[in-house]
Amino acid sequence: MLAKSAAGIKALQIEKADLISGRLDCLPTIATDTRTARELIESLEASTDDSLQRHDLSTWLTHLDYSDRHRQISQSRLNDTGQWLLYDPTFLDWAHGSNQVLICTGVPGVGKTVTTSAVINSLLKEFKEDATVAVVYVYCSEQLKDKESTVEFLGSLILQLLAHLDTIPKDLQESFEDHSRGRAPLNQEDASALLGLVASKFAQVYIAFDALDECFSRDDFIDVLEPLIPLYKLWITSRPFAMKDYSMFDGALHLSLSAADTDIIYYVKTRAAKSPKLRRYLEKDATLLPKMQANVLRKANGV
């Protein structure tokens, strides 16, 4: 009887020891889980702080957001139109050579804005995996002249560059604090300095300015652009007359934009394919489509 009791007590002691040992074995796992949870919370807090800081900076830097306009223009562009320019030797010399400025001029309606969107998308795609290269842009518009100013343009470029960075530069945060946490507006000198500061975080920066001739403060803005010429790759579109009086662009590359024959041919073919009535005529007469294309080409006269 005593032997059985002793055996039972010993078994209980062994079971208790195993239970304690098992719980002790769990302590490293619990500690690791606790540390992981704490790190996750700290990461979320840091992410939230960063998002709030970026929102405050956005409000302070600019009221202009060109992303929606760029998206709309890109979606309105027919596939493959404007592709000829991406293979043009002058464009390639600018994009990958030593020339810093490419000025593309053309009459209204020639497709300068659509071409700009094609160039931006091509550069974004090419440098998608390269964190040392940034592509930013401005779409000038007479419709926005009440909102546009040189400071707003510069602020938009700074904000777009900031979107390429994982962390907010310390000097930019300090400038925000110095301006009463964004309650004091930026002036042109400070905005120019901040653009240079943020852009210096990249090995290469491409800046596209569409319709510079429609820029309400064009003269002021071009004065700001002049010191940027040696530093960044500038793509500029404009009507021809607007660029004649600025000597700082004398050494720039130039392209005269016109609606390429291939783009017009593709456009006519696409529009005809979408019309049930035209499709019926085209099925009956194989010569009709090329006749239509030739007629449109003749009347387009480069536009």
108 and 210 in a single domain? The answer is yes
85 and 32 in a single domain? The answer is no
286 and 248 in a single domain? The answer is no
The arithmetic mean of pLDDT across residues 34-53, rounded, is 62
- CA pair distance 265, 263, nearest whole angstrom: 5
Residue scoring higher pLDDT (141 or 303)? 141
- pLDDT tens readout for residues 285-302: 988 988 888 888 788 776
* Torsion on CA atoms 91, 97, 99, 100, rounded to nearest 10: 90
Percent share of the chain, pLDDT over 90: 41
194 and 130 in a single domain? The answer is yes
The arithmetic mean of pLDDT across residues 264-278, rounded, is 87
- CA pair distance 194, 174, nearest whole angstrom: 11
Asked whether the predicted pLDDT for residue 144 surpasses 70, the reply is yes
Residue 92 is part of which domain span?
62-257
293 and 275 in a single domain? The answer is yes
Asked whether the predicted pLDDT for residue 150 surpasses 80, the reply is yes
Residue that finishes a domain, picked among 10, 39, 61: 61
Percent share of the chain, pLDDT over 70: 81
82 and 106 in a single domain? The answer is yes
| Long-range own/partner contacts, residues 13-21 (CB < 8 A, 24 or more apart) | none
User: What is the per-residue pLDDT for 95?
Assistant: 97
43 and 121 in a single domain? The answer is no
Which of 11-15, 183-187, 268-272 shows the lowest per-residue confidence on average (mean pLDDT)?
A: 11-15
Largest CA distance in the chain: 116
Asked whether the predicted pLDDT for residue 25 surpasses 70, the reply is no
The CATH number linked to 131 is 3.40.50.300
- CA pair distance 288, 278, nearest whole angstrom: 10
6 and 81 in a single domain? The answer is no
Q: For the chain, list the strands marked E by DSSP.
A: 101-105, 133-139, 204-210, 233-238, 253-256
The arithmetic mean of pLDDT across residues 272-289, rounded, is 89
Please say whether the dihedral angle defined by the alpha carbons of residues 246, 247, 249 and 253, taken in this order, is positive or negative: positive
Asked whether the predicted pLDDT for residue 20 surpasses 90, the reply is no
Asked whether the predicted pLDDT for residue 45 surpasses 70, the reply is no
154 and 15 in a single domain? The answer is no
User: What is the per-residue pLDDT for 44?
Assistant: 45
- pLDDT tens readout for residues 86-131: 889 999 999 999 999 999 998 888 889 999 999 999 999 999 999 9
301, exposed or middle or buried, with CB in 10 Å at 0-12, 13-18, 19+?
exposed
Cβ–Cβ under 8 Å, residues 135 and 206: yes
Range 199-214 burial, b when 16+ CB lie within 10 A, else e:
bebbeebbbbbbbbbb
Most confident among 58-67, 144-153, 242-251 (mean pLDDT): 58-67
Q: Report how many domains make up the chain.
A: 3
Per the listing, tokens 């804005």 go with 113
212 and 283 in a single domain? The answer is no
**What does the mean pLDDT of the chain come to?**
84
242 and 294 in a single domain? The answer is no
User: What is the per-residue pLDDT for 223?
Assistant: 85
What pTM does this model have? 0.76
Residue that finishes a domain, picked among 28, 61, 94: 61
Asked whether the predicted pLDDT for residue 162 surpasses 80, the reply is yes
User: What is the per-residue pLDDT for 12?
Assistant: 55
| pLDDT band with cut points at 50, 70 and 90 for residue 156 | very high
88 and 17 in a single domain? The answer is no
Instruction: Decide: helix, strand or coil at residue 82.
Output: coil
